[in-house]
Chain A
Amino acid sequence: MTRVFTLTAALFLSTAAMAEEMRMAVTTSFENSGLADVLLPAIKADLDIDLQLLVVGTGQAIKLGEAGDVDAILVHSKAAETAFVASGHGTHRREIMYNDFVILGPTADPAAIAQDTKVVDAMQRIAAAQPAFVSRGDNSGTHLAELALWKAADLDAAGFGDWYHATGSGMGAALNTAAGLNAYILADRASWLNFGNKADLALLFAGDPMLFNQYAYLPVNPQKQPHVRNDLAMKLEAWLVGPHAKALINGYSINDEPLFVFNATDP
């Protein structure tokens, strides 16, 4: 029994003895895409920072930043981000990279959206045909983007009937639900390419500029939360907009399909 105690004690000490630790809240799409597995080891090697990721939706990421439980956030919902900076919780907003949203659905495409060229037409067609549609429903960046698309198509998601399933879950869980229901869903391209349970789902619509999905980095304001490691957050920002990150982000691909495009510019 004493051996068990010493073992647990040793484990405790070993976790406490790490070097520089920084916490960042990221969106589920960032983690589920697999890009995190590429960037984290490079960050550790270049900066000697143990970057701890909290994988949550954009809504919760911003809450974590406001409470000061993380040092920086990496999210994708411009309206929520500018509000975060305007309220003084974040110091500034730095664009890092983008990918795009895609509309997935049953291979048979009962709503016939594959022929459309504009995303608003596709959304209207879905609302008219009323096939099963899975929504994130969790205030995440993808959820907010989906609501904005319905709005752009002059539709109100709140008034939809039984065919509209708001799951209130992360990207992966929502994709699993869509696969199970054989339903339409809006997802970011990276999560889709990296998703293992595609079932009968297929990529039906992509390419409209409205589906552009920008990721931005926001350090938490140390004047509001004195304990945050703003020094590390700034070091990380410099790295994220630098040449090594650029090469890794642009070079990350699944099945020869690039997932993200680096677009950080000097402020």
Chain B
Amino acid sequence: MNDILAGLAAALRLIVTLDAELVEISLRSLQVSLTALLIASTIAIPFGTLLAVQRFRFRRSVIAVLNALMGLPPVVVGLIVYLMLSRSGPFGVLGLLFTPTAMIIAQVIIISPLIASITHQAMRELWAEYHDLLISLHATKRQRIATLIWDGRRNLLTAALAGFGRAIGEVGAIMIVGGNIDHATRVLTTAIALETGKGDFALALGLGFVLIALALLINLGIHALSGTEREGRW
């Protein structure tokens, strides 16, 4: 119990003094996770919608695989990305290992299936509702997908926020591909792992509370911006 109180105190102290290191690693956490979210959403949302609209031969298998990939173990993704980007690996010449870019690549791989799968679930129901209308209007496939994405944007927000949550709290993969280098690839989760290793539980927990607060703020901020759950609107 004392450790938890000390953690709260450490979190308060870090925030009140606007600790330079804390600001740096928090911004890097946001930079990596938001960029990964942006890229993953650009790929996964149209793909998930397409899966709802389009009928093709292996559709059921693709959906099953996608659902299974939601549970992709981050540490394995990290290891594979590491081996790909290592100087002795196929993409070694790019020199991307131990950079924020490598961390973004790993996170995109981890969260894309999650976003695509939730998108598909949401879009399937919407498509059942819109099916007759869009067919009778002779909407092209592109128009159908665009309509569904636009009208289902609230549900897609949930998909994106789930992806963001998985990305910002992730440590296994980014520890391997980022290396937790001070002032280069250290983010909140890897800093927590480091401080735990030093036995400094108060600071580790303090950083943990900052991470939770940050995730909450981002979620609330996006909800406020998009105007969901407001009176008279859905």
- What is A's interface to B at a CB cutoff of 8 Å? 4, 8, 11-12, 15, 21, 23, 28, 32, 40, 50, 52-55, 66-69, 170-173, 175-176, 179, 194-198, 225, 227
Give the CA-CA distance A4 to B97 in the complex, in Å.
25
Q: Which residues of B contact A12 (CB under 8 A)?
A: 31, 100
A11, A54, A172: which contacts B198 (Cβ < 8 A)? A172
Q: Which residues of A contact B88 (CB under 8 A)?
A: 66-69
Give the CA-CA distance A11 to B24 in the complex, in Å.
10
CB pair A69 B34 closer than 8 Å: no
Give the CA-CA distance A28 to B198 in the complex, in Å.
10
- The CB with the most chain B CB atoms within 10 A, among A21, A32, A69, A175, is that of A69
CB pair A227 B28 closer than 8 Å: no
Q: How many chain B residues touch A (Cβ–Cβ < 8 Å)? A: 28
CB pair B199 A170 closer than 8 Å: no
Give the CA-CA distance A53 to B185 in the complex, in Å.
10
Give the CA-CA distance A50 to B185 in the complex, in Å.
13
CB distance from A264 to the nearest CB of B (A): 24
CB distance from A201 to the nearest CB of B (A): 10
Knowing A54-B98, A227-B95, the reply to whether A176 touches B184 (Cβ < 8 A) is no
CB distance from B226 to the nearest CB of A (A): 11
Verify if B68 is at the interface (C-beta below 8 Å from A): no
B28, B95, B198: which contacts A194 (Cβ < 8 A)? B198
CB pair B97 A69 closer than 8 Å: yes
Q: Which residues of B contact A55 (CB under 8 A)?
A: 180, 194
Q: Which residues of B contact A198 (CB under 8 A)?
A: 199
CB pair B179 A54 closer than 8 Å: yes
Main secondary structure of the interface of B (DSSP, over half): loop
Knowing A4-B34, A12-B100, the reply to whether A173 touches B87 (Cβ < 8 A) is no
CB pair B180 A172 closer than 8 Å: no
Please list 23 pairs of residues, one from A and one from B, whose beta carbons are closer than 8 Å in the complex, sorted by A's number: A8-B31, A11-B31, A12-B31, A23-B98, A23-B181, A50-B184, A52-B179, A52-B181, A54-B179, A55-B194, A67-B86, A67-B89, A68-B87, A68-B92, A170-B197, A172-B197, A175-B199, A195-B198, A195-B199, A196-B200, A197-B199, A197-B200, A225-B87
CB pair B35 A69 closer than 8 Å: no
B87, B92, B100, B199: which contacts A172 (Cβ < 8 A)? B199
Residue of B nearest to A175 (CB): B199
A67, A194, A197: which contacts B87 (Cβ < 8 A)? A67
CB pair A176 B197 closer than 8 Å: yes
- What is B's interface to A at a CB cutoff of 8 Å? 27-28, 31, 34-35, 86-89, 92, 95, 97-100, 179-184, 194, 196-201
Q: Which residues of B contact A195 (CB under 8 A)?
A: 198-199
Give the CA-CA distance A172 to B196 in the complex, in Å.
7
- The CB with the most chain A CB atoms within 10 A, among B34, B87, B182, B197, is that of B197
CB pair A179 B95 closer than 8 Å: no
CB pair A15 B184 closer than 8 Å: yes
Residue of A nearest to B86 (CB): A67
Give the CA-CA distance A32 to B35 in the complex, in Å.
31
CB pair B199 A15 closer than 8 Å: no
Residue of B nearest to A40 (CB): B182
Give the CA-CA distance A40 to B199 in the complex, in Å.
22
CB pair A54 B31 closer than 8 Å: no
Give the CA-CA distance A110 to B5 in the complex, in Å.
33
Q: Which residues of B contact A52 (CB under 8 A)?
A: 98, 179, 181-184
- The CB with the most chain A CB atoms within 10 A, among B31, B97, B183, B199, is that of B199
Give the CA-CA distance A195 to B195 in the complex, in Å.
10
CB pair B197 A197 closer than 8 Å: no
CB pair A196 B181 closer than 8 Å: no
Give the CA-CA distance A69 to B87 in the complex, in Å.
6
CB distance from B100 to the nearest CB of A (A): 6
